[in-house]
Structures are given as structure tokens and as C-alpha cells.
A and B are shown apart, each in its own frame.
Chain A
Amino acid sequence: MMKKIFHISLCAILLVATILAVPRISHAEDEFLIGLIPEENIFKAIEKHRPLEAYLSTELGVKVKFTILSRYGDIVDRFTSRDMDGAFFGIYTSMLAADKLNVEPVVRSVNLDGSTTARGVLFVRKDSEIRTLKDMKGRRASFVDKATAAGYIFVMAYLKNHGVRDTENFFSEYSFTGSHDSTVYAVLDGRADVGAAKSRVLDRLITKDPMIGEELYIIADSPFLPDNTLMIRKDLDPALKQKLKDALLKLDRTPEGLKILETLGIKRFIDASDEDFSAVRSLTNEAGITPGE
């Protein structure tokens, strides 16, 4: 009898161990879900990623689906609650995800000008009288989200570095638009006096409409920070992870791939690593912000 119980127990343990040891492919066998940060207008973002979605589905042999993460602030929670396999995070949320989720960096993007980084820019309308830190005090500020390095954290670091202690009450209004382009439009339209956004998004808007460049004045910018990074679950099948990485890294080697990159507005993808987060870690520290709070 004891022998039988021992055998059943052993089988049960082995079964559980086997289940745990099998690498997870995804929440659903036939779908690989990748989140996108709401860096820009969500309609544009989904449209831009459609060709990549189709390409990756063919390359990986599973249906790849992109979905917009509702907002920066709850990206880490949403990643877990929606059982995602990966996500293109901003640099700050990548750092948060690396700390709080069981994810690892795979690739990050190279901009059209060949740069692999982007800066945060603090800007005002050129026809405003705001040019210095003193002029900015008591004005209405528009940010992207509290969980963005380029669209908020760097400004807090800038204020601290210039002797502002009470950064929470420096501006008369703090509005968060949820995307970089909306913040640019908020300042252009006069809905805010001061704005902060990612230089790459601003540059793209200026390329599309040179009037925007003529109307804005850059007061300050952040150090260069690595751009958006694809983070994926560590517990995914290693073969699938490699396939995904290879598929993205070789995009610039085929005409079809170059077309996809063109739609995405980037030159190519390159390898990403944990070391990429060191600059944003020190910026967060300078801003006096505790990551994730």
C-alpha cells in the first residue's frame, strides 16, 4: 500500500515538474500578443504595425497580434493582466518591466538618421515670452505621462538640477496627454505653455509639417537615451525567442523588410541588453523619482 502511495506521489510530482519545466509559448497556442506603448496617436500606431504583424506571423508560424497598451502608467500591470508575450516599451517602462516582470530585452530600433537614441525636449511656442526656467514658473505644462523619460521624467530632473525643490508645484497646471504628438499639438494650439516630448516624434512631425519647427522653441533637452525596446517573457520557448529576434534583425536585408521598416519609420532593429537602461536609471534618480511609484 505504502509503495503504491509512493508511486502515485512520485508520478504526481514528476507530472507537475514536467508541466512547470515546459517552456511557455504564449497564453494561446495560436496567438503571440505584443503590446505597443501609446507613444503616438493609437490609430496611427496600429496602422503602422500591421505589415510587421503579418510578417512576424509568417516568420514565427503563429498568429502575431499587436495591441495598444492603454497608457504608460499601467503598462506593467496591463502586461501581466493581458497575459502578453512581449511589448515594445519606452526606455523608462523597459527599465520598469525589466525590474518588475519576468522579461528580457530583445531588440531596439535604429532611427532613420542612423541614431539609436532619442532625447526628451522641453519646448514652448516661439512667439511666447518663455525662454528661461524663471519664465516657466507658474505656467501650464503638458506632459506625455508620468512613466515616460522623454515626456516627463527628464523635466523633473532638469528642474531638480536647476535648484527647484518643489517640482510638483512649479507649474500652475500639469496635464498628461498620453502621447508625444498630442503634447506637441497642445503647445502649438496654446492649450499649454510648456511641453515635453520625445525628439524623434517631434522631428517626425516637423518633417511632415515644417511649420511646426518654425513655431516651437526648444528650451532644454535630456541626455540621449536608447529608444523603444522590445521586451519578451523570459519563459517563452527559447527557439521561438531566437526566431523572433532573427526575424526582426534581418528585416533590413530584404526589400519586403525594408518596406516594413519604412512604414514603421525606422531604419532597422539592433540587439538590446540590460545595459541600455543605465542612463534612464540615473535620470530617474536625478529626478528624485522612485521607479514604479
Chain B
Amino acid sequence: MSTLLINKRFITGIAFIAIVAVMCLAPASALAETVGVILPHGAYDYERIQQVLKASLESESLTSNIKFLLQRPYPDPIAYSNAARKLIAADVDIIVVYGASPTFAVLREKPNIPVLYAGVYEPVAAEIKGKKVVGVCTKLNMSSLVRYLRGSTTIKNMGVVYYSLESDSKQQLAELQEIGSKYGFNVSPIDLKYRANLTELLDKSNADAFIITSSIMAVDYLPTILNVATANKIPTASMITREDSAALITLTADPVDQGKRLAQMVTQLSNGKSVGQIDEYCARKVELVYNVKEATRMGLKISVDLVTEATKLINK
């Protein structure tokens, strides 16, 4: 009888250990996560990253339970802060935020939630740091943009469209000013803070080329800038895109590369990793678009280098 009892206890014990072992060894099941997203209104490049992020997560069976809570603030610091507060109040598990200024606004709220950024040009310069934040940076070489532009025209005075309330945009202006002083061309800053008079500012700049920095605010004004440029036959290079209009040259970080990396980070967090265990990723693939149609329309010499190096040509 006692032997039978011992055997029963032994078998029960083994079964319990086995169940615990199976539970421990089984892959982390899909944790239901709510991902709060701050995607500035009208930022087409960020929309594309977000689409890839969603598609990548949907294809990962482990994270099929992830729900998105999307905020689309207008490009304004107060609107960014409000969006961040809403997501914190909604107790989301992760915040994904696009652009340097929105990320900075989120961090100012000191959330105790992991924050993943994307589309940030230079996180250190934008003072994006902390134990709860990591993401994908998009440092592009401003000199490449200048070089390709100089392949289309001689530049003596370059008009740079930027927004003084966006750190990335300001940083890019500073880099262009440094390049200009080194290579003998003047830089005329055109601040979108005074966008009410944008057409006048563009005309007054007397620029022989325009560079549009990666400002979220500039996305709305891209058609206006391009209209002025085309009317005056001024070549343009842009670090932002829109579905309906394109500069002569556009240089951006590949949204697919960024979206996929962001999805990996979301997956890692949702599987229990901490922000500190995730490395920042700097987008490595770039998209270089050459608008041959616009070059022809403006009567510019078609740049052979650009035709060869571009990842996409606009012909129609």
C-alpha cells in the first residue's frame, strides 16, 4: 500500500515537473500589446515606414495580437505633447514615434513606457536619450545631396528650406552651411516659421538651387516650393517625399529597411526584452530618386551620374 502511495506521489511529482518544464520551454506566446503610435499628420515618409511596420508585424505569428492606437498630431510641439499624454493615459505598452521633435515631446512627458523612434536624423543632436528610448536613425549624407545638385547646376547661392522648431531640420541647415563655407557657396536659410510669406521668401532668396530639409512642416509646403522652383527654373533637392509631387532629386532613407527594423524592435520588446538590450539601428539603405521629367521640363542637362546612381527614375 505504502509503495503504491510513494509511486503515486512520485508520478504526480514528475507530472508536475513536466508541466512546469513544458511551460518554461514553450516559446513565449503572443503577448497582447497595445502599441501607441505618434505619426505626424501628412508625413508621407513616416506613413510608409508605419505601413511596413504593420505588415512586418502581421507576418510574425508571435505578435499577431498587437493592437495599434494611432495619433496624428499636426506638426506642432503642443500637439505632439498632447498626443503623447493621450497615449500615456491610455496605458499603451510601447510608444512608436516618428520624427525628432515628436520623439523629444514624448520624452519630455517622462513616460515609464518603452519608446521606439524612427525617422530621426541625428538622435544625439536632437537630445534623444534615456533608458527607455531606442530606435531607428536616418542620418543621410547632406554632401551627397549637394554633390548631385551641383551635377545639375552651378551653385553660388543655395536656398535651404527648414523649420526652426524642428531639431533635425535645423541640424541639416547647420551641416549645409558648413559645406557651403567649405566649398564656396552661400546658404540662404528659408524658415517655415514664416510660411505665410513662403512664396515671397523663396523669391527673395535669389537662390540658384533649393534644398528642402527633412522637416515635417515642409511636407505640406512641398508643392508651393516646387511651383516657385519650376517657374524660375531652379533645381531642387529634397529629403522629404509626397505622393503627388517630387523634387528634381530626392534622397531619403529606405522606408522598408526602417519599417522592418522597427518591427523587429517591437517584437523584441513584446517578447520581454528591455530597451537597454536593443541596439539603435541607423538606416543603411537610401532611396535616391531622380525626376528626369522635371529636368527635361526645366531644360536642364540630364545628369548621367544621377541616371546611373538613382534607385528610381521619374520619367512620366
Contacts and interface: CB of A to CB of B under 8 A. Distances in A.
B308 A190 contact: no
Contacts of A210: 183
B140 interface: yes
A125 B142 CA distance: 13
A211 B305 contact: no
B147 A188 contact: yes
Contact of B309 (A44, A140, A189, A209): A189
A43 B140 contact: no
Contacts of B286: 189-191
Interface in B122-177: 139-141, 143-144, 146-147, 150
Given A188-B143, A189-B141, A212-B147, A41 B182 contact: no
Contacts of B307: 43
Contacts of A44: 304
Max chain A Cβ within 10 angstroms of own Cβ: one of B139, B147, B286, B308: B308
Contact of B308 (A182, A188, A191, A211): A182
A190 B284 contact: yes
B180 to A, nearest CB: 11
Given A209-B147, A212-B147, A214-B182, A185 B141 contact: no
Interface residues of B, number: 21
Contacts of A190: 139-141, 144, 284, 286
Contacts, number: 48
B72 interface: no
A113 B251 CA distance: 36
Contacts of B141: 125, 188-190, 215
Contacts of A214: 182
Interface string A153-191: 000000000000000000000000001011001001111
A209 B305 CA distance: 13
Contacts of A215: 141, 143
B305 A189 contact: no
Interface magnitude class on chain A = 10 to 19
A15 B182 CA distance: 73
B312 to A, nearest CB: 14
B288 interface: yes
Interface in B198-212: none
Interface in A130-147: 140
A93 B83 CA distance: 61
A189 B288 contact: yes
A41 B288 CA distance: 17
B104 to A, nearest CB: 24
Contact of B146 (A41, A181, A211): A211
Interface string B101-127: 000000000000000000000000000
19 contacts: A44-B304, A125-B141, A140-B284, A182-B309, A185-B144, A188-B141, A188-B143, A189-B309, A190-B141, A190-B144, A190-B286, A191-B284, A209-B150, A210-B183, A211-B143, A211-B146, A211-B179, A211-B182, A212-B147
Interface of A: 41, 43-44, 125, 140, 179, 181-182, 185, 188-191, 209-212, 214-215
By Cβ-Cβ distance, the 6 closest A-B pairs, closest first, are A189-B144, A43-B304, A185-B309, A41-B308, A190-B141, A41-B304
Given A43-B308, A189-B144, A189-B309, 14 more contacts: A43-B307, A182-B309, A185-B309, A188-B144, A189-B251, A189-B288, A190-B140, A190-B284, A191-B284, A211-B143, A211-B179, A211-B182, A211-B183, A215-B143
